[in-house]
């Protein structure tokens, strides 16, 4: 079951949109075959699915829809749980990013995003013609967060004003691209959770840098706005004692499907909890 807790919020974070985005991101783990039949409840109640996103080669999954209550179109991407996804995650090679001098992007993430972007642009344009007063949000968790960032940029370059709200994103850009996208995307909310391991990969030492817009959720659930690209008082304060377990919990929501369609992720969470408890007894971290 998805949980909704009260948190202390500072800065300009739009809490209503963030709540809906994290709920939709968790639902993405249900898989594209069940998304069209999914009953959206809680913070994403009233969401209507328009289309699903899928590419077999890169195992890319997500969905597009809209929510009349907040007049928003959401483009949602699933995070990693398949071997194909992890191969993409661990490929640290970069490739030039078009239209930006000296900009380079993580090759695996970029290939993943490029495999689905044409249909996404087409579907978002179709929805905007139907609902011209609606805004657009690109969102996702983990690998889905990196994809959401690249998609937000491509939507903007296609003439579609887009807001980015993502959770637990890995790095995917070099310094030049990070600065370019941070200027190109007008509204960025990049949420990190306490000691989450994933925002620390690929390593900064390999030339990667986060985009701006970080909001840091601490161990007590308080969320605060950070500064710059790699704020040393936020997620970046943890360089050694990171936690994979923290990656699966954001804003009070467990990052797994709220049905029985996602047993793989549930088993992973159970194993992580068991390992974390063992290491805690030994005085270590996971």
What three-state secondary structure class fits 25? helix
Q: What are the catalytic residues?
A: 142, 196, 247
**CATH T-level assignment (fold) for domain 15-281:** Rossmann fold (3.40.50)
pLDDT value at position 5?
35
Domain ranges of the chain: 15-281
Name 267's Cβ contacts closer than 8 Å, sequence gap at least 6. none
pLDDT value at position 12?
63
In this prediction the pTM is: 0.87
Task: Please write the tens of the pLDDT for every residue from 122-175.
Answer: 999 999 999 999 999 999 999 999 999 999 999 999 999 999 999 999 999 999
> Cα separation of 47 and 72, whole Å?
10
**Which residues of the chain register pLDDT less than 70?**
1-12, 82-91, 258-286
Q: Residue 44 to residues 20, 26, 28, 195, 257: CA-CA distances in angstroms?
A: 5, 11, 12, 27, 13
pLDDT value at position 13?
78
């Amino acid at each position: 079951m998805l949980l909704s807790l009260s948190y202390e919020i500072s800065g300009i974070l739009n809490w209503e949109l963030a709540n809906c985005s994290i709920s939709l991101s968790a639902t993405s783990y249900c898989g594209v075959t069940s998304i069209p039949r999914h009953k959206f409840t809680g913070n994403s109640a009233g969401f209507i699915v328009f289309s699903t996103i899928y590419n077999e080669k890169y195992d890319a999954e997500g969905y597009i829809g809209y929510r009349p209550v907040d007049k928003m179109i959401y483009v949602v991407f699933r995070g990693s749980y398949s071997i194909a996804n992890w191969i993409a995650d661990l490929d640290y090679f970069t490739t030039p990013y078009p239209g930006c001098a000296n900009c380079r992007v993580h090759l695996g993430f970029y290939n993943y995003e490029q495999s689905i972007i044409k249909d996404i642009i087409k579907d978002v344009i179709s929805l905007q013609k139907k609902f011209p007063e609606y805004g657009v949000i690109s969102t996702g968790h983990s690998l889905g967060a990196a994809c959401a960032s690249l998609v937000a940029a491509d939507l903007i370059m296609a003439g579609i004003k887009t807001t980015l709200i993502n959770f637990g994103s890995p790095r995917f850009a070099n310094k030049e691209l990070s600065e370019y996208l941070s200027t190109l995307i007008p509204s960025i909310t990049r949420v990190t959770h306490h000691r989450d391991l994933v925002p620390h990969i690929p390593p900064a030492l390999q030339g990667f840098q986060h985009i701006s817009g970080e909001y840091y959720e601490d161990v007590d659930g308080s969320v605060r706005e950070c500064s710059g690209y790699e704020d040393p008082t936020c997620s970046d304060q943890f360089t050694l004692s990171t936690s994979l377990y923290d990656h699966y919990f954001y804003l009070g929501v467990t990052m797994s499907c709220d049905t029985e369609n996602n047993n793989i992720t549930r088993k992973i969470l159970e194993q992580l909890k068991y390992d974390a408890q063992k290491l805690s007894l030994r005085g270590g971290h996971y």
